[in-house]
């Protein structure tokens, strides 16, 4: 009997302890509603979109409900139970919409968004690209100073672009109202500023920048690939080399008459197509160590007068020889008189008209040749492969 009483007592104590144990269940938390960002809408738009969302710490979102809180009329919410829905039937004025989010614990939260609708005539911005400028070509940069205003909303975006000009410049920050521009050459440029406001409307304005002054292009390349020393005749001799000399000559070898001409081209691609060339000077330097003639003097013969002509067709140096040499034109050719001096550098020969013709008709380079190709006359000049770089052919062009 004693053991039965003890057992009953233990059971009673266990029930008592269990009934006094603390409840560990955490109460559910409400969700979080997000009705999206405030919007500006401009008429005659017929719809806009409400983009809402909801999150909940436990469970899932079970319901979305959109409603209009205020506004100048009752707009039409096309799907009130969707997180994202379109709205129509509105007029100008300010609307407030409320999103209610409910989770599967039947707890709810709300958030509101304001949509401002304005008439088109009230919302267009005004762009100002600044005053036209004159800039000296020697400057490293100039500044574009723009601005924008709007009656309604705010200015949200600036965008600079180059509309025209002799080359493509570098706009430092195209999305800033004020920015610097570099990488220009002489000429007239037009830049456009586009201003956008918070209603998505844009307006444009332009500014003209006149870059003045002379630009100098000095070219004296080493190992110029666009260069050839050709010699031959009409009886089968046909040779072409990239030698250390460029000649205008007529001579003999082994009793056979040969004629020698020099072909060379400078890179003029950096000169804008609409640039005005004000001068072009070519310099050719007598070869101190000639490989033709008597191998002593660069200039020999009773009549070594020569021409500098413009090549009229494209040519490939590696495959160009005497027989397939490109044609030239006598138009604006430069006449170099005879010299009895053994060495005579041709410094700053005026070839402006030839370079202007190259600008207008394509740059295929120069050819030098004797005016009368009669044997034992020679003019021997250094090429771009001559060891002394100061004696390489040089062209200096100024333009604006």
pLDDT at site 72: 92
pLDDT at site 95: 94
Q: Do 286 and 368 meet the contact criterion of CB atoms below 8 Å apart?
A: no
- d(Cα 340, Cα 115) in Å, to the nearest integer? 92
Q: pLDDT band for position 10 (50/70/90)?
A: very low
Per-residue pLDDT of 69-90, as tens digits, reads 999 999 999 999 999 999 999 9
Q: pLDDT band for position 274 (50/70/90)?
A: confident
Please count the residues of the chain. Answer: 400
CB neighbours (10 Å) of residue 16? 9
Per-residue pLDDT of 275-305, as tens digits, reads 889 999 999 999 999 999 999 999 999 999 9
More confident residue, 33 or 153: 33
Q: What percent of the chain has pLDDT over 70?
A: 93
- d(Cα 78, Cα 85) in Å, to the nearest integer? 6
Q: Do 189 and 165 meet the contact criterion of CB atoms below 8 Å apart?
A: yes
pLDDT at site 121: 66
- d(Cα 65, Cα 103) in Å, to the nearest integer? 12
pLDDT at site 13: 43
Q: Do 203 and 195 meet the contact criterion of CB atoms below 8 Å apart?
A: yes
The residues spanned by each domain of the chain are 33-120, 123-213, 218-399
pLDDT at site 23: 52
Q: pLDDT band for position 122 (50/70/90)?
A: low
Residue of 37, 176, 202 lying closest to 120 (CA atoms): 202
Domains 33-120 and 123-213 belong to one CATH topology: yes
Tokens 């005749």 found at: 233
Per-residue pLDDT of 165-219, as tens digits, reads 989 999 999 999 999 999 998 889 999 999 998 888 889 999 999 998 888 899 9
We find that the CATH architecture of domain 123-213 is Sandwich (2.60)
- CATH homologous superfamily for 33-120? Immunoglobulins (2.60.40.10)
pLDDT at site 175: 97
Q: Is the pLDDT of residue 380 over 90?
A: yes
On the CB side of 67, CA atoms within 13 Å amount to 6
Tell me the three-class secondary structure of the chain, residue by residue.
CHHHHHHHHHHHHHHHHHHCCCCCCCCCCCCEEECCCCEEEECCCCEEEEECEEECCCCCEEEEEEEEEECCCCCEECCCCCCEEEEECCCCEEEEEEEEEEECCCCEEEEEEEEEEECHHHCCEEEECCCCEEEECCCCEEEEECEEEECCCCEEEEEEEEEECCCCCEECCCCCCEEEEECCCCEEEEEEEEEEECCCCEEEEEEEEEEECCEEEEECCCCCCCEEEEEECCCCCEEEECCCEEEEEEEEECCEEEEEEEEECCCCCCCCCCCCEEEEEEEECECCCCCCCCCCCCEECCCCCEEEEEECCCCCHHHCCCCCCCCEEEEEEEEECCCCCCCCCEEEEECHHHHHHHHHHCCCCEEEEECCCCCCEEEEEECCCCCCHHHCCEEEEEEC
Per-residue pLDDT of 94-112, as tens digits, reads 899 999 999 998 999 999 9
Q: Is the pLDDT of residue 355 over 50?
A: yes
**Beta-strand pair 256-264/227-232:** antiparallel
CB neighbours (10 Å) of residue 115? 22
Phi, psi of 159 (to 5 degrees): -145, 115
Per-residue pLDDT of 129-157, as tens digits, reads 999 999 988 889 999 999 999 988 899 99
Among 20-29, 253-262, 331-340, name the most confident range. Answer: 331-340
Nearest-10 Cα torsion for 302, 308, 314, 316: 50
Q: Do 66 and 99 meet the contact criterion of CB atoms below 8 Å apart?
A: yes
Tell me the pLDDT of the chain averaged across its residues. Answer: 90
């Amino acid at each position: 009997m004693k053991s039965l009483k003890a057992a009953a007592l233990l059971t009673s104590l266990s029930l008592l302890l269990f009934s006094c144990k603390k409840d560990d269940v955490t109460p559910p938390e409400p969700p979080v509603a997000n009705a999206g960002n405030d919007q500006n809408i401009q008429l005659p738009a017929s719809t806009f979109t409400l983009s809402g969302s909801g999150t909940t710490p436990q469970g899932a979102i079970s319901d979305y409900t959109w409603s209009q809180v205020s506004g100048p009329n009752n707009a039409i919410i096309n799907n009130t139970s969707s997180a994202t829905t379109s709205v129509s039937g509105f007029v100008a004025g300010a609307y407030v919409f409320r999103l209610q989010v409910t989770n599967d614990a039947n707890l709810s939260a709300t958030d509101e968004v304001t949509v401002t609708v304005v008439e088109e005539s009230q919302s267009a911005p005004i762009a100002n690209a600044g005053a036209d400028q004159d800039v000296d070509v020697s400057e490293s940069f100039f500044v574009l100073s723009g601005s924008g205003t709007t009656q309604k909303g705010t200015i949200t975006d600036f965008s600079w672009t180059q509309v025209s000009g002799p080359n493509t410049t570098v706009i430092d920050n195209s999305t800033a109202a004020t920015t610097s521009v570099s990488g220009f050459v002489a000429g007239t440029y037009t830049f456009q500023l586009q201003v956008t406001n918070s209603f998505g409307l844009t307006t444009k304005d332009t500014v003209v920048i006149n870059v003045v002054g002379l630009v100098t292009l000095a070219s004296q390349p080493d190992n110029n690939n666009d260069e050839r020393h050709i010699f031959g005749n009409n009886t089968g001799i046909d040779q072409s080399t990239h030698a250390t000399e460029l000649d205008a000559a007529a001579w003999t070898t082994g009793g056979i008459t040969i004629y020698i001409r020099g072909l060379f081209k400078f890179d003029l691609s950096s000169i804008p197509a609409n640039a005005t060339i004000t001068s072009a000077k070519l310099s050719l330097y007598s070869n101190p160590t000639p490989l033709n003639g008597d191998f002593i003097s660069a200039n020999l013969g009773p009549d070594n007068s020569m021409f500098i002509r413009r090549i009229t067709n494209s040519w490939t140096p590696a495959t160009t020889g005497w027989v397939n040499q490109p044609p030239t034109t006598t138009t604006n050719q430069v006449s170099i008189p005879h010299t009895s001096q053994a060495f005579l550098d041709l410094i700053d020969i005026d070839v402006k008209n030839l370079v202007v013709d190259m600008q207008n008709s394509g740059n295929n380079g120069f050819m030098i040749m004797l005016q009368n190709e009669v044997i034992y006359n020679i003019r021997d000049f250094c090429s771009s492969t001559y060891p002394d770089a100061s004696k390489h052919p040089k062209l200096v062009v100024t333009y604006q």
